[in-house]
């Protein structure tokens, strides 16, 4: 009996091994498109993933996040950076401790925050918006602390990087570079009789400089007049808006300007009453009452910024050779309440905008994104 049992057991094991070999052979036969290069890449990816996990497990990294001012766009970025860092920490078995501060648009406060971040020896500084990135670049000049910016519209023009592909220093990040022509085309499509455009912005905002020049060029090319009004505070922007209304502009354009963004909740009802559509360079403007926001998905911008931070800390990526990340600007966000208030038909607007952007999103007025 024992000999018989042993023979049966050996036979079963032989059949099992044969079945396994058959399964492997079938998979290889079906996957006729696989190549040695693909297999090598998969092996490299697995090795990289294992190395990443090994490098991160048990480690604690300190991430200093500095925000320029409270507004819906920038706060959305910060929230998504923090959420993504927490998720990555759990995935990699490490901890990302966040040291957060907000300059509230005060340059003196911003400089002190930068000095404090360096003194506390954070592992990386995340600079949200151009003014923050500029100060953090200067503050970390004599240190080995990398800076990852977010929501910088023109990194090269601001002097933060040598080029988008090869930053060349300790600074890299994610850009919300704006396709101004696309926004102006939406404006003309909605109102083919457009004659006078208001340009509303803060001259001190680097993010507005190039888009405003682009908007002027577009107006000149299309034979449309424009009028500029600027301001550096919410009260200034309110007065500038009232002036544009009095002058009878047909529409108003604002880039991804944080000063106007902060004032949007103050001015949107005036523009509704005057039935003047406000087009701006971020969906947060539409959230706060503007007719149309066009630009990047700021929640995704925050996620990608966090992923870049993780790459620098965990994988020892070099900011000097880490390309600045840009995004598709094809999303038009329409405030449905404002659309109705200024006399546009929502279905007609969506049909008109559809060929000119990758997606049309509807939103209603609120202070912050949920």
Distance between CA atoms of 239 and 116, rounded to whole angstroms? 37
pLDDT for the residue numbered 322:
98
Note the residue count of the chain: 370
320: number of Cβ within 10 Å: 15
Distance between CA atoms of 270 and 248, rounded to whole angstroms? 13
Q: How far is CA 289 from CA 108, 188, 190, 337, 338, in A?
A: 31, 20, 18, 8, 7
Q: What is the pLDDT of residues 131-141, one digit of tens each?
A: 999 999 999 99
Low-confidence stretches of the chain (pLDDT beneath 70):
1-56
By three-state DSSP, how is residue 126 classified? strand
At residue 251, what are phi and psi to the nearest 5 degrees?
-160, 165
pLDDT for the residue numbered 328:
78
3-class SS string, 191-247: CCCCCEEEEEECCCCHHHHHHHHHHHHHHHHCCCEEEEEECCCHHHHHHHHHHHHHC
For the chain, where are the alpha helices, taking DSSP H only?
2-30, 36-56, 72-92, 107-119, 130-139, 180-190, 206-221, 234-246, 258-274, 283-287, 298-314, 336-341, 346-353
Q: What is the pLDDT of residues 97-143, one digit of tens each?
A: 999 999 999 999 999 999 999 999 999 999 999 999 999 999 999 99
Angle CA(137)–CA(172)–CA(308) in degrees, nearest 5?
A: 125
pLDDT for the residue numbered 40:
41
Burial (0-12, 13-18, 19+ Cβ within 10 Å), 332:
buried
pLDDT for the residue numbered 283:
94
Q: What is the pLDDT of residues 275-317, one digit of tens each?
A: 999 999 999 999 999 999 999 889 999 999 999 999 999 999 9
Torsion of CA 9, 14, 16, 19, to 10 degrees: -160
At residue 288, what are phi and psi to the nearest 5 degrees?
-90, 10
Closest listed residue to residue 185, CA positions, set 360, 47, 307, 355: 355
pLDDT for the residue numbered 14:
41
> Is 201 in contact with 212 (CB distance < 8 Å)?
yes
Residue 16: partners with Cβ closer than 8 Å, 6 or more residues away = none
pLDDT for the residue numbered 129:
96
Going across the sheet that includes 292-295, the strands are 225-230, 196-201, 251-254, 278-280, 292-295, 331-335, 359-363
């Amino acid at each position: 009996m024992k000999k018989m049992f042993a023979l049966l057991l050996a036979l079963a094991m032989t059949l099992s091994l044969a079945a396994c070999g058959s399964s492997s052979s079938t998979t290889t036969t079906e996957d006729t498109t696989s190549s040695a290069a693909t297999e090598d890449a998969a092996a490299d990816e697995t090795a990289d993933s294992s190395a990443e996990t090994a490098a991160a497990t048990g480690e604690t990294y300190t991430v200093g996040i500095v925000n320029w001012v409270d507004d819906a766009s920038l706060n959305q970025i910060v929230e998504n950076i923090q959420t993504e860092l927490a998720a990555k920490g759990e995935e990699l078995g490490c901890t990302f401790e966040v040291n957060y501060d907000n300059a509230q648009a005060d340059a003196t406060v911003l400089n002190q925050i930068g000095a404090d971040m360096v003194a506390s020896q954070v592992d990386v500084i995340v600079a949200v918006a151009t003014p923050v990135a500029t100060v953090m670049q200067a503050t970390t000049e004599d240190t080995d602390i990398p800076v990852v910016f977010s929501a910088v519209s023109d990194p090269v023009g601001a002097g933060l990087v040598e080029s988008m592909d090869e930053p060349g220093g300790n600074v890299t990040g994610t850009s919300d570079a704006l396709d101004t022509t696309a926004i102006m085309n939406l404006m003309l499509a909605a109102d083919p009789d457009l004659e006078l455009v208001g340009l509303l912005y803060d001259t001190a905002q680097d993010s507005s400089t190039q888009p405003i020049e682009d908007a002027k060029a577009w107006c000149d090319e299309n034979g449309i007049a424009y009028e500029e009004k600027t301001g550096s505070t919410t009260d200034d922007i309110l007065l500038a808006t009232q002036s544009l209304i009095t002058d009878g502009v047909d529409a108003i354009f604002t880039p991804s300007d944080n000063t106007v963004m902060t004032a949007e909740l103050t001015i949107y009802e005036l523009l509704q009453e005057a039935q003047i559509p406000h087009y701006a360079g971020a969906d947060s403007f539409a959230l706060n009452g503007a007719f149309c926001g066009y630009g990047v998905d700021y929640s995704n911008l925050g996620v990608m910024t966090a992923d870049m931070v993780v790459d620098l800390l965990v994988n020892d990526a070099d900011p000097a050779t880490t390309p600045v990340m840009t995004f598709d600007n094809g999303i038009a966000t329409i405030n449905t309440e404002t659309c109705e208030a200024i006399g546009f038909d929502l279905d007609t607007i969506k049909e008109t905008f559809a060929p000119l952007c990758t997606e049309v999103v509807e939103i209603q007025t609120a202070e912050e994104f949920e």
